[in-house]
Chain A
């Protein structure tokens, strides 16, 4: 399985701010290696954020998102102790899911 994500979810008033760092090359497919061959595109295509098991946001990404992507969003009504789950799938079918507790 791919390297783990770093998820921080903190209560801020009536919501929780979720910050995620993902470990991924996000290769655009436009770069060439030293022999001149294009390095194949390899990037996260879909990201899902769930709150206590219920999906609250789904994102579609292209290869323009930076390597080792960072994402921030805010879940309404989330409280300390709630679970935030982030999942991603890339264009090769590789996946990763990690969970964090809202603090």
Chain B
């Protein structure tokens, strides 16, 4: 049976061949935005994503619990009632790198995404909406992270 290493190497080779043949969808060939994922602050993340200065707005909503029993899995969501949102992002301020996830939207999906993130400690969580014209809006909420018990 193939070891995982062999399987991964095989996958990588196949991807490489597909890429060379121009058969990968354009989205897959877009580079992962390393600068954005290494940024430490909201302002730096937005700058790396090519957006303007972020402004707090009631048109953006960040959802999540007030308190998380465990920082390994914290359910958070970003949504916006504005029309023409191109990108939604979720940031955890006190994480080693602030940007957790970024979602590029077409007009075929709602500006409403949910995922689960790791939080190293209690922190502000930002939902950021980027518009087609470069305008950037955000909402922020504090989520407290506690240390749970011994395993129940």
**Which residues of A are in contact with B by a Cβ distance under 8 Å?**
1, 15, 26, 28, 30, 45-46, 48-49, 51, 54-67, 69-77, 87, 89, 91-95
Contact = CB atoms under 8 A, between A and B. Distances in A.
B99 A62 contact: yes
A66 B116 contact: yes
Interface residues of B, number: 42
Given A60-B33, A93-B8, A77 B108 contact: yes
Residue picked from B96, B110, B115, most chain A C-beta under 10 Å: B115
Contacts of B102: 59-61
A92 B8 contact: yes
Nearest to B101: A61
Interface in B73-132: 73-75, 77, 92, 95-97, 99-110, 112-118
Given A65-B118, A70-B116, A59 B104 contact: yes
B104 A95 contact: no
B23 to A, nearest CB: 13
Contact of B92 (A45, A64, A75): A64
Interface of B: 7-8, 11-12, 15-16, 25, 27-28, 30, 32-33, 36-37, 72-75, 77, 92, 95-97, 99-110, 112-118
Nearest to A89: B28
A45 B36 CA distance: 13
Most chain-A CB neighbours within 10 Å: which of B32, B37, B101? B101
B103 A64 contact: no
A55 B115 contact: no
Contacts of A48: 25, 27-28
